[in-house]
Structure 1
Amino acid sequence: MLRRRPPRSASADDLLTTLGRLTAQAREGAELQQARVELAEALQREMLPGALPELPGLRTAATYAPARHGLAIGGDWYDGFRLPDGSLAFSVGDVQGHDVEAAAFMGQIRIGLRAVAAHAADPGEVLSRANDLLLSVDCELFATCTFVRFDPFRWELTSARAGHVPAIWATVDDRYGVTDDPGGIPLGILPGERYPVTRRRLTEEGAFVLLTDGVVEGPAFPIEAGLAQVTRLVSARAGDHPADVADAVMCVAELTGHTDDAAVIVLRFEAAAAAAGAG
């Protein structure tokens, strides 16, 4: 004799209906999140420069890596461009927050920095003007940034920091260190902020590395340890091609288990050009 299952109660049918609706909503939410991630990745690819400027005696390279799990993309950037007086400008930074909004705000900052750099006297003034410009658009996000200007006539780097992680430098004669320059608060927080400027004459062959905290900091990896790791690496490879140095520095991000995106710029300056500029 076949036994029939008792009919499901109305409450069981309701439960299955609710479960199906929640599953569909979860699927739609996951698809929406994936679409936002893909859009942020596309924005990031389009907004980052395809190449950095160079001059005789100064070679450059940069690299970018998205967040390990792909959900925190959009905040970090690097840039490089020529200024009207013949010098070169470089910037690296990190927008607070992630996803499409951070990627879009990153684009605003890059454009703002380029616009004010053509009319500002030094990196400190560039950051001050960019800070006030960003505050004028009334956005709730803020960003850390380092802005560097390379003077090919004096063979000199001038730089200013807005709440950003320090740079790393090394020369081929085994001198190296972490820049301990004074700086100001991140961009987009307080109007009228001023940013101190640091000057460096490039009298020896070597490398100057700008990076974001996604390279040197992770969930269980303190930023001090990451900076020390990068410093050792750059000191050992100060004479290498800048692209090789950039790739090696980015490998540190894999050690940290980074949950943020990461960016690196390497400025590689030659001894002969440095000596000529210092003369």
Structure 2
Amino acid sequence: MTRRRPTPSADDLLTSLGRLTAQALERAESQKARVELAVALQRELLPAVLPQVPRLRCAARYAPARHGLDIGGDWYDGFRLPDGAVGFSIGDVQGHDVEAAAFMGQIRIGLRAVAAAVEDPGEVLSRANELLLSMDCGLFATCSFLRFDPATSELADARAGHVPGVWATADGDWGVAEHPGGVPLGVLPGEAYPVTTRRMSDTEVLALFTDGVVEGPSFSIEAGIEQVARLVRDAVPADPGELASQVIKVADLTGHTDDAAVLVLSHQAAQGTR
């Protein structure tokens, strides 16, 4: 005689379905809670306002990724320095979770602390790099750090593995700021970061951004940078807030699998100098 396996009853099936549904809801709620925590951290850790100094206006935007927990690693910052200059940073921490958001906050604070004591942007990044390595957290970050002197309109900047920015002037000149840089922060000890120094033109716009703005499954990084370049060229002279809002939308073309940050600096000639 062949023994047949008992057929699950409707009650058994409903019980199993209920258990699986409860587990799925629990995982979904856990994921939702982590996303909300990461969003809250990002909101609290990014600056509420950016410094405005004579002849230079600035604005920034941040956008989370559209899917999953891809949030928390990107940042922008701007702050006044003891000698009257202004420091700016923008960067991207490895990873997209609550830990990345918390680490991003530590980097921002570290950069501010070092920049208050050191003028050279390359030295700022070098010391920040050693600080991150000493923390032994296993994460790294790309970053651009800039120092603007409102008295001379001199802009000095250094890059640590970060995507280059785009600049344009009122006379139609423009370019991608692909000057030499160093490796990301938190990778190699004793790393040096070259500094590029120049005087901003009387009417100039500089757009800085993270790779989440210009790179994704639907867009190559070259295509993304070109798209940003067109926006920047067409915006001079620019309202920095409007331009930042336009640039952050480029992330929608990439597939938006990463969070994204934009920082725009708009330099204007002093009245009576034109």
TM-score by length of 2: 0.93
Q: Does 1:127 align with 2:130?
A: no
Deviations 1:64-88 (A, max 9, x none): 1111225201110000000001000
The count of aligned residue pairs is 270
| 2:201–2:267 contact (8 Å) kept in structure 1 | no
Q: 1:212 to 1:11 in 2, by over 3 A?
A: same
Query: What is residue 204 of structure 1 aligned with on the other side?
Result: 202
Match of 1:235 among 233, 236, 244: 233
**SS of the residue 1:106 aligns to:** helix
d(CA) in 2 for partners of 1:58, 1:99: 34
Give, in angstroms, the shift of residue 22 of structure 1. Answer: 3.3
What is the RMSD of the two structures over their aligned residues, measured on CA atoms? 2.1
- 1:203 is displaced (CA, Å) by 2.8
1:1-279 aligned at under 5 Å gives the runs 9=7, 17-69=15-67, 71-272=69-270
**Could you tell me how far 1:273 is from its partner in structure 2?**
7.1
Q: In structure 2, how many angstroms separate the alpha carbons of the residues matched to 1:22 and 1:196?
A: 56
CA contact (8 A) 1:56 1:273 kept: no
Residue-by-residue CA offset, 1:217-274 (whole Å, 9 max, x unaligned): 1112000000001011101102121101111111211122211111111110012379
* Aligned mates of 1:58, 1:225 — CA distance in 2: 29
Contact 1:57–1:274, Cα closer than 8 Å, also in 2: no
Partner Cα distance (1:96, 1:275) in 2: 45
Aligned-partner Cα distance in 1 for 2:233–2:218? 25
Distance 1:95 1:262 in 2: 11
Q: Does the 8 A contact of 1:184 with 1:196 survive in 2? A: yes
**How many Å apart are 1:91 and its aligned residue?**
0.3
Q: Distance in 1 between matches of 2:68 and 2:268?
A: 37
More deviation in 79-88 or 13-22? 13-22
Distance in 1 between residues matched to 2:174 and 2:269, nearest whole Å: 16
1:10-48 alpha-carbon deviations (Å, 9 max, x no partner): 798777655543332222111101100000000000000
Amino acid at match of 1:133: L
Tell me, which stretches of 5 or more residues in structure 2 are unaligned?
A: 1-5
Identity of aligned residues (%): 68
- In 1: Cα distance, 2:196 partner to 2:272 partner: 18
Q: 1:274 to 1:56 in 2, by over 3 A?
A: farther
Structure 1: unaligned runs, 5 residues or longer: 1-7
